[in-house]
Structure 1
Amino acid sequence: MCLILFAYQVHPVYKLIVAANRDEFYQRPTAPVHYWEESPKILAGRDLEKMGTWMGITTKGRFAALTNYRNPQELIEGKRSRGELVAEALKHKGNVKDYLQGLADYNNEYPGYNLLAGDANELFYYSNIEQMLRKIEPGIYGVSNHLLNTEWPKVKIGREGLSRIITGKQEDLADKLFELLQHSDPAPDSILPSTGISLEWERMLSPLFIKSEHYGTRSSTVLLMSEKEIQYAERVFSKAGENNKKYTIVL
């Protein structure tokens, strides 16, 4: 997942609202959102190469999602897959805060990441780059391939768009969030981040929705969680067209 926008405890109905895009190489094998056979309480897509995931929810309302931290100089050979962090957060039987605190012992075993985990009543953020566990306070947030709320153009546009949507008319909320995630205009060169990759790649990666020959936005996901139910919708994009799935979990 390369962009996660979320509103936490600021909406009158939905205590957690998430709109996220997963960016990946098109050739990487992936399964769309489904209930996992070996862990039937987990609803998530799946990376079929490493068998982890980028975002998911459980039937009890636990949420977890992850983005990579962009550092082209980082050596990742021999390190563990970041996707297992989301899977383990969803599988963890104890308090998710304890799980996240325990990750400090394994900071160097994973490439850089940002991890969100919790539920509608308690949500946390941890990055092995920042190495500090944060409890999320009510507000509107965004995280891409830097730290939480870093003002990259896509994060700024996304947070502003999310704020506008949830404070406006409430009809077709999920559709409006999916529309926001489709924003594909690149940012002007003058405000692009400098992360150690080429200018061409900075431009290509700057929109909310990425398109290129070999790499881009593979799926968009919208999560709406109230006290009574969870709505989880995913749109998968491929050369074969768009594949939409929607699930409702009653809490």
Structure 2
Amino acid sequence: MCLIAFDWHPDRERPLVLVANRDEFHARPTRALHWWSGPTGPLAGRDEQAGGTWLAVRRDGRFAALTNVRDPAAPSGERSRGELVVEALVGDGDIETFVFDVHARRHDYGPFNLLVGSPERLWQVGSHSAPDRVTPGLHALSNQALDTPWPKSIRAVRRLEAALDGAPLDDAPLDDASLPIGTLLRLLDDRDPAADDELPETGVGLDLERLLSAPFIVGDRYGTRSSSALVLGRTARMAERVFDADGTRIGERAFS
């Protein structure tokens, strides 16, 4: 996952609205959104190469999401970052304890950001950031620390804010016209790169900075593979839209 925008309000009946794009090499085998096996298996897509995932939710509303951190000089780590999302949803351990444990062994993984939450609490931790409780409000997480003002992050938050403007603050049914899941899935279909004078300098060169600056990336070898939306309320709603290398939609699944 390379871009997440979310609205977090644990005091409301609908505490979380989250949209995300997963950017990955097109050749990496992936299974679409599905319920994993077992009585406590999460709802998630699956990285068929390493066995982990990038965004997952349990039936009780506990969820986790992952992005990579762009640091070309950092080691790749011995373990897959996608394992962390799966670990976050195994058992009923305290979220705070879990994120501090992840931080202690962060060097086992390539650079990452991790969100772990439930309808009542939300924490973030990363290879480059200490564990911290996420404050209520609108946030974006891309390939740097939470709320780093990259152009794609700013645009994602503005789009989410516009979609939420006028929508009910309390829980909404699956077919609620004020916040349909299709609207959320379209929020990050923004394919325009940022202007050169707005680009971050992350050590990957100007051409790649341009390509990666769009919220939705279209590239021959690497690009946005899927867009996801997750809404937590009295029920959890999650949907995924899948794309090919040309950026053409090739599938969609929705669950509640």
Q: Same fold (TM over 0.5)?
A: yes
Q: How does 1:8-23 map to 2 (within 5 A)?
A: 8-9=8-9, 13-23=13-23
What secondary structure, in the 3-state scheme, does the structure 1 residue paired with 2:89 have? Answer: helix
Amino acid across the alignment from 2:254: K
Shift of 1:103: 1.4
Q: How many residue pairs align between the two structures?
A: 245
Match in the other structure for 1:95: 94
> What is the one-letter code of the residue matched to 2:221?
H
Amino acid paired to 1:244: E
Task: Please report the RMSD computed on the Cα atoms of aligned residues, expressed in angstroms.
Answer: 1.7
Q: How does 1:65-80 map to 2 (within 5 A)?
A: 65-76=65-76, 79-80=78-79
In structure 2, list runs of 5 or more residues that go unmatched.
Answer: 168-176
Confirm whether residue 171 of structure 1 aligns to residue 171 of structure 2: no
Alpha carbons 1:165, 1:173 under 8 Å: kept: no
Match of 1:111 in 2: 110
Provide, for residues 114-171 of structure 1, a one-character-per-residue CA deviation record: whole Å limited to 9, x for no partner.
Answer: 00001111010011212x1111111000010010000000000111111111113562
Query: Which is further off, 79-88 or 89-98?
Result: 89-98
> 1:13 Cα deviation (Å)?
4.7
The structure 1 segments of at least 4 consecutive aligned residues displaced by more than 4 Å after TM superposition are: 10-13
Residue 157 of structure 2: aligned partner = 159
Distance in 2 between the 1:182 and 1:86 partners?
24
* Superposition TM-score, scaled by structure 1 size: 0.93
Structure 1: segments with no counterpart, 5+ residues:
none
| Match runs of 1:102-251 below 5 Å | 102-130=101-129, 132-169=130-167, 171-226=178-233, 228-238=234-244, 241-248=249-256
Q: Deviations over 1:170-210 (max 9, x none)?
A: 62442222222101000000000000001110000101100
Q: Percent identity?
A: 38
CA separation in 2, counterparts of 1:186 and 1:245? 28
- Give 1:105 deviation, angstroms: 2.1
How far residue 38 of structure 1 moved from its aligned partner, in angstroms, is: 4.4
- Indicate whether 1:61 and 2:61 are aligned: yes
CA distance in 2, matches of 1:160, 1:15: 19
Q: Distance in 1 between matches of 2:227 and 2:39?
A: 23
Whether the 8 Å contact between 1:92 and 1:99 is mirrored in structure 2 is: no
